[in-house]
Homo-oligomer: A and B are copies of this chain.
Amino acid sequence: MVQLNFNHLRYFWTVAKEGSIARACEVLHLTPQTISGQLKVFEESIGNALFQRSGRGLVLTDTGRLVKQYADEIFALGGELSQQLRDAGPVNSFTVGLVDSIPKLIAYQLLEPLITSADPVKLVCHEGKIDQLSSDLALHKLDMVLTDTPLPAGHAIKAYNHHLGSTQVGFYAHRRIARKYSAKFPASLEGAPMLLPVQASAMRRDLDDWFLRNSIQPKITGEFADSALIKAFGEAGAGIFPAPAAISEHIEQTYHCRFIGNADGISESYYAVSVERKLKNPSVVRMNEAAHEWLSS
């Protein structure tokens, strides 16, 4: 016996459990000659009889009893595994890492195609800093990372940036404030109360550059790591805040704000980072297409 044949073991085990080949046939949906033959092959491969032919029936030999004990355990485990796999169902889960600075609404818009499709996936989202997320990606704890800054090329981690599209950046504020700054935009922003992302974010770097180019020095009222927090402050009237133009309508409705104007010349890009150079995962491909469509309009 080179290697244990589990098919034979199963037949043997069923016969041993049921007490006869005839009964095992019903359980296994096979004919007696098949089981009898396979049993014989098994016995020959083992080199010992498993059953003693007695009258027109079979009785386990010592070896047979030994084998049955192991088979009991083995098929108990096998059954348990099958059950677990059945319970789990076809999960097709997809784990995404979201960089903190990416607006939740953008993330939702980008990921939405994954859950509303013919072949829906179970979406698992994690948030964190790009360093943490990219190392998780390398460890295959994540299937993809959504970020607004592409991963540096010379990075130790093998991963590829897939550009999803870009959007202009606009300024929004509570209607009372917005009215005041809408006229003579962008010059009006000089000394205006401003809520901005932290220095680490891509948008902040672009905005600082834009303010410089336009010779505007706003009054920075607050800095936020989480983009949702900015908007909550903005809704309360704490100041003007920047947001992707792509979700302009949502911003105005959800946070009861008004659009003031676009930061001309700067744009926010979004990237899907994955370990595959070419996107193959159907979920990612779908998302990529939808993103391009959305962010080009």
Given contact pairs A74-B77, A140-B52, A140-B59, A67 touches B85 in the complex (Cβ within 8 A): yes
Instruction: Give me 25 A-to-B residue pairs in the complex whose CB atoms sit less than 8 angstroms apart, sorted by A's number.
Output: A1-B82, A1-B85, A1-B86, A3-B10, A4-B82, A6-B10, A6-B78, A48-B85, A48-B88, A48-B90, A48-B91, A48-B92, A52-B140, A54-B276, A55-B158, A55-B276, A63-B85, A63-B88, A66-B81, A66-B84, A67-B81, A70-B78, A70-B81, A74-B77, A77-B77
Q: Tell which of B1, B46, B55, B82 touches A3, judged by Cβ atoms closer than 8 Å.
A: B82
Alpha-carbon distance between A82 and B6 when the two chains are bound, in angstroms: 11
The smallest beta-carbon distance between A162 and chain B, in angstroms, is 16
The distance in angstroms between the C-alpha atoms of A54 and B70, with both chains bound, is 37
Mask of A207-242 contacts with B, CB within 8 angstroms, 1/0 = 000000000000000000000000000000000000
Beyond the given A1-B82, A3-B10, A53-B280, please list 6 additional residue pairs across the A-B interface where CB-CB is below 8 A. Answer: A1-B85, A7-B7, A55-B158, A59-B140, A70-B81, A73-B77
How many copies are assembled?
A: 2
Q: How many Å lie between the Cα of A275 and that of B53 in the bound state?
A: 10
Residue of B nearest to A79 (CB): B4
